[in-house]
Structure 1
Amino acid sequence: MALLTDPDFPNALWLTVVFLLVSAVIGQNFLGLALALMTANAPKIVRSIVATTVVTAWVLPEIVAAFACYAFFSSDGTLNALTGLAGIEPVEWLFAYPLAAVVLANIWRGTAFSMMIYEAALNDVAPEITEAAVIDGAGGWKRLAFVTIPMIRNSISTNLMLITLQTLSVFTLIFVMTSGGPNQRSTTLPLFAYAEAFGLGKIGYGTAIATVMLLLGAVFSFLYIRILKPGGNA
């Protein structure tokens, strides 16, 4: 009951949903699929360069990736150095746009996982089916929408469930970059649970927040299965 009457809980829940949808469902998922499609027929050297570049972020320990992103978005960091070359005044990115910064950081770090899932799925699509669609006059977008996507929908569902659970548990990345601030503008449920359980000593309250995270993951997983199951409807 205390959780439902806490004015800080709706904010943390909303930020968690936004962080999840933008950085995982939209960012990692679609960017991973786009990279897999672009490199499917690319020369080997191009595939190697893309894979190395993208996977490097994924294999980094989370604490290392977090400090790298903090350095990139800090007031005297790489981003302001690059924009300064164009004559743009420095911006306190982590203060002005904290949620956007952690969203971009999570996309950068997690896209490799989706890309590898989709590369494996695309390799299992029989070339004969794609060739038949080409003969029937289907263009690139039609082949993607009516041939490729339906054939890899199980992989899409699996990928969405996994990156959803991974993103729901993201703590170190946000804690290092913004600590949930300023003014709780990037406080997702994991940081909210940590602050309540270990900052204020409310272990039971922190456990209740963790239970909400579990339920949130279950709801998203159920939706993925319902929407993407063979013959399923949205």
Structure 2
Amino acid sequence: MSTDAPTAPRPGTAPARRRHSPLGDRLTPRRASPMIPAAVLLVGFMLGPILYSVYLAFTDRAIRGEGASDTSFVGFDNFLDAFTDGDFWNSVLLTLIFTIVSAVIGQNVMGMLLALLMERAHRVISFTVTSIVIAAWILPEVVAGYLLYTFFADEGSLNTILTSIGLPAQDMLFSAPILAVSFANIWRGTAFSMLVYSAALSSVPGDVYESAALDGAGPVRRFVSVTLPLMRPAIATNLMLTTLQTLSVFGLIFIMTGGGPARQSQTLPLYMYEQAFSYGQLGYGTAVALLLLLIGAAASLVYLRLLPEEEKR
């Protein structure tokens, strides 16, 4: 029986060299040339507007009036004006309430419950419920806002249901508008959380549940001790995405309440719109937009700390 041994290079012959591409291994102008159109588009349509927005935030640029004809640099005056404006802090508070109620609590809890129920539901029920929830999600924001406005209106579906069972009619668009728009955002955005958590639940190994059941853990204990720790990356990621999306919600609130009555549902996007386009103060409105961006960045950093170390790499 013979075995093949590696053949040693013959004396006097040079070892085989690695073949290199004619362009080499470095990034050369010739290699980078196909990326030039994409770089131009990114600079022109993303970096350019971002830099211009930062510039506007430090000026008194306006649509009409003094700032429209002669724009001047005002430094941090726009930010100081915001910090001393009671309407700004009212919008910050309402934005936090809207985000916590509709995104952090509402969409995440409803999404988790629906994902858990759909995991054990019959295929027909699962398909029907998923289709209804996703249909609400893919509706344009303006359409969803109008539908929810008619639901909460004086003669809408909500009051029709309440009066039919003997309960007094409600007027949430005037008595509690921030809660009405929060419920609307939950109705519209829960599908995303449900899909994220359904995918995360499907990746949990079944033998882990079997081992926990053999150890005597009930359904609640298995959910707390097994499901939630394994879904921690999905939960943190979903919290971050839903929070950032909710911070920028504009059309839904604008259609339902317009920020009223008496600014009771005026979140930061609507306050920014009012200052920039209703009052014509583009510089001040852009400064508020940058502050909203900082709030979103701070929230993202908090959620990133919730991720396991291996997920951050």
Per the TM superposition, whether the score is higher than 0.5 is: yes
Q: How far apart, CA to CA, are the structure 2 residues paired with 1:141 and 1:231?
A: 27
Q: How far apart, CA to CA, are the structure 2 residues paired with 1:220 and 1:137?
A: 38
Aligned pairs (5 A) from 1:82-161: 82-161=161-240
Aligned to 2:15: none
Task: Provide the TM-score with structure 1 as the length reference.
Answer: 0.96
Q: How far apart, CA to CA, are the structure 1 residues paired with 2:285 and 2:128?
A: 43
Distance 1:168 1:100, change over 3 A: same
Q: Secondary structure at the match of 2:121?
A: coil
Aligned to 1:16: 95
- The one-character-per-residue Cα deviations of 1:176-215 (angstroms, maximum 9, x if unpaired) are 0000001100000000000000010111111111111111
Q: Secondary structure at the match of 2:301?
A: helix
CA RMSD of aligned residues (A): 1.4
Letter of the 1:197 counterpart = A
Q: Return the match for 1:164 from 237, 243, 254.
A: 243
Identify unmatched segments of 5+ residues in structure 1. Answer: none
Task: Provide the TM-score with structure 2 as the length reference.
Answer: 0.72
The alpha-carbon deviation at position 91 of structure 1 amounts to 2.7
Q: How far apart, CA to CA, are the structure 2 residues paired with 1:159 and 1:91?
A: 33
The alpha-carbon deviation at position 145 of structure 1 amounts to 1.1
Q: How far apart, CA to CA, are the structure 2 residues paired with 1:86 and 1:127?
A: 45
Runs of 4+ in 1 over 3 A off after TM superposition: none
Q: How far apart, CA to CA, are the structure 2 residues paired with 1:68 and 1:169?
A: 20
The alpha-carbon deviation at position 93 of structure 1 amounts to 2.0
Q: Return the match for 1:196 from 257, 271, 275.
A: 275
The alpha-carbon deviation at position 230 of structure 1 amounts to 5.1
- The one-character-per-residue Cα deviations of 1:74-121 (angstroms, maximum 9, x if unpaired) are 111111111110233333221111111001000000000000000001
How many residue pairs end up in the alignment?
232
Letter of the 1:39 counterpart = M
Identify unmatched segments of 5+ residues in structure 2. Answer: 1-79
Q: How far apart, CA to CA, are the structure 2 residues paired with 1:16 and 1:113?
A: 21
Aligned to 1:51: 130
- The one-character-per-residue Cα deviations of 1:138-170 (angstroms, maximum 9, x if unpaired) are 111111111111111111111111101110110
Q: How far apart, CA to CA, are the structure 2 residues paired with 1:123 and 1:36?
A: 10
Q: Return the match for 2:105 from 1, 4, 26.
A: 26
Letter of the 1:211 counterpart = L
Q: How far apart, CA to CA, are the structure 1 residues paired with 2:226 and 2:310?
A: 14
- Do structure 1's residue 216 and structure 2's residue 295 form an aligned pair? yes
Q: Secondary structure at the match of 1:185?
A: coil
Q: How far apart, CA to CA, are the structure 2 residues paired with 1:56 and 1:75?
A: 25
Letter of the 1:69 counterpart = L
Q: How far apart, CA to CA, are the structure 2 residues paired with 1:55 and 1:14?
A: 30
Letter of the 1:145 counterpart = V
- Do structure 1's residue 70 and structure 2's residue 149 form an aligned pair? yes
Q: How far apart, CA to CA, are the structure 1 residues paired with 2:310 and 2:83?
A: 38
Q: How far apart, CA to CA, are the structure 1 residues paired with 2:97 and 2:208?
A: 37
